[in-house]
Structure 1
């Protein structure tokens, strides 16, 4: 018996993390188990817990990712994108990659101080820092916590290059910081647009801003001189792939200098959540969708191998690549590149941050 409604969420259920041998959650006879019978099923509310990490700069050595370091101000994401490859990280907190990931959020208010310390270390080598690689830096709770803004303030102060990936037009609230950073060649944005259809977007990404708002943000950023690319990421076969050319055209019309696409990835616990979502929202084509994904992923739900995990493989991958290349050529959209300056970097002054 459910004790909370998943209405308005991306995942249709909470799954138990399996990689850490955690026990299955079962009803224990408490009053909450009877709440449906008493008052009906209440909606799941979003909660935010303060997290105190020891470090904030995450490094990777992946040869198929265009950055080697990233910062994430939050853990979990209220946007609720069903395909989000970051969902399994919630298992480290004994929480479900399902609805917990969308509603049991963690904020890292000490992130700016931790980044200040990292940039101050002797011998620090400056390279672009990516934000939004795991969870969206402009999800709704940024309006209150403003951690992303504080990070940008520090990066601008130290003349450190950075990229932002987001699905939200809330990024425009920091235009006063992004513009001077972009004028120095230090900043660019990638706006994720997966579908132009409001209904599809609402099921794929239930709490993210609608596509028209994202494209309006792309236009506003580029008009202000902040390079904003469009990421068609992910492309979901049989659900959004038919919109590839339309999104490229819309990106070009919004003034985007370039774009890129990525086929959907379903790592670890994401695959069963995605299957449940298909059964709920697209039962008529669920089998066809998964068959196409497996053809892209070497016969499996997911392919974790370098290079192929980003591009896919087989006829479907070749077709997507050809379609994207033809569309970008037709509409004058370049493949996204993020040429940012690193020669302007100056380490923070003193032991404390000057702006915070």
Structure 2
């Protein structure tokens, strides 16, 4: 498959500039100069190229709830209405999952979205299973449940309707302001101890956010979402993830702004570059920040024991070494100063009433 490149100024909101070959492909091809000037001609024609449009396909999923036993993840159950994410965040650790679909973790991940059209009905059936034990269910663990296609497809909305009816606890992490649309469900659940929402604010630098997370809500818009959720009574937090050395160095300012907006919980992770994400991120750095690309990657490797990435459960979320410790100290001291994470009651599983789902018809 071809490694297709698009000129920087033609990206128009896309996170990466090429179709990164995935790790299961046998052949990788790249353009080269054959001496006849054809490569220059192709590049010249590419100057007028339009960035690929989003394509949505549908699948009949086999299951709704996923489980994990990773010791560094604070929840056991997850749910994702979509595969791929149009937000196009260049750092997204989930990009390599598109390889299992024989799609590129690069442009395909953010332009070829798979929607699980039967996700709500599957969830209803799984909650009704006799052996099901309620636990915190986190929606949007791999891709954002409030990415732009949710406005039309409303799959996340359908999932929340099932969880609300069953009084099942739910947590969400999102960059999408679309979560405000579902306040009629989230507000009463939050007030009953059944819902919490974390909004990711990676940086307050709008210029950086525009190229780092091109189709996600702007930083100031995410802060407004935090305020809206908090004022509605939804327990609200902020994720200042990922921390990328020499790029988003305004963690303290983000936490202060989130606190002012009403967030009372916070967490962070450092940049993770598994599989194909490492060469993609390196290319993105060369494209957008060539003056500091080497410094950024040198510090990333300091966090990973000299490698671009280390999947060890003990260090993959926070890194290791002196720089990891400095990031941790900055986060902890700022949270202590502001008051984050002082009251963090677990969501309530005792209210779970699966019988309320019996006889519920088609949700669509």
TM-score (norm 1): 0.93
Indicate conservation of the 8 Å contact 2:14/2:51, yes or no: no
Secondary structure of the structure 1 residue equivalent to 2:15: coil
Distance change in 2, residues 1:234/1:157 (3 Å): same
Give 4+ residue runs of structure 1 displaced > 6 Å after superposition. 33-36
Q: Please name the residue that 1:208 is paired with.
A: 216
Distance change in 2, residues 1:285/1:36 (3 Å): closer
Instruction: Give the CA deviation at 1:3.
Output: 7.8
| Cα shift readout 1:181-225 (whole Å, capped 9, x = no counterpart) | 112210000100000010000011000010000001101111110
Q: Please name the residue that 1:144 is paired with.
A: 152
Q: Gaps spanning 5+ residues in structure 1: where?
A: 28-32
Q: After the TM superposition, which residues 13-52 of structure 1 pair with which residues of structure 2 at under 5 Å, given as runs?
A: 13-18=18-23, 20-24=24-28, 37=45, 40-52=48-60
Instruction: Give the CA deviation at 1:105.
Output: 0.6
Distance change in 2, residues 1:78/1:38 (3 Å): closer
CA distance in 2, matches of 1:192, 1:39: 34
Structure 2 residue 176 is matched with structure 1 residue 168 = yes
CA distance in 2, matches of 1:295, 1:140: 36
Instruction: Give the CA deviation at 1:355.
Output: 5.0
Q: After the TM superposition, which residues 1-356 of structure 1 pair with which residues of structure 2 at under 5 Å, given as runs?
A: 5-18=10-23, 20-24=24-28, 37=45, 40-240=48-248, 242-334=249-341, 337=344, 339-348=346-355, 349-350=357-358, 352-353=360-361, 356=364
Instruction: Give the CA deviation at 1:42.
Output: 2.2
Number of aligned residues: 349
TM-score (norm 2): 0.91
Distance change in 2, residues 1:319/1:289 (3 Å): same
CA distance in 2, matches of 1:92, 1:338: 37
Most deviating of 249-258 and 2-11: 2-11
Indicate conservation of the 8 Å contact 1:229/1:336, yes or no: no
Distance change in 2, residues 1:178/1:78 (3 Å): same
CA distance in 1, matches of 2:313, 2:46: 51
Secondary structure of the structure 1 residue equivalent to 2:211: helix
Most deviating of 263-272 and 1-10: 1-10
Aligned Cα root-mean-square deviation (Å)? 2.1
Instruction: Give the CA deviation at 1:160.
Output: 0.4
CA distance in 1, matches of 2:279, 2:189: 41
CA distance in 1, matches of 2:241, 2:345: 17
Most deviating of 228-237 and 345-354: 345-354
Q: Gaps spanning 5+ residues in structure 2: where?
A: 32-40
Instruction: Give the CA deviation at 1:85.
Output: 0.5
Indicate conservation of the 8 Å contact 2:4/2:19, yes or no: no
Distance change in 2, residues 1:106/1:286 (3 Å): same
Instruction: Give the CA deviation at 1:75.
Output: 0.5
Distance change in 2, residues 1:336/1:2 (3 Å): farther
CA distance in 2, matches of 1:12, 1:340: 41
CA distance in 2, matches of 1:316, 1:35: 41
CA distance in 1, matches of 2:43, 2:286: 27
Q: Please name the residue that 2:36 is paired with.
A: none
Indicate conservation of the 8 Å contact 2:273/2:309, yes or no: yes
Instruction: Give the CA deviation at 1:314.
Output: 0.3
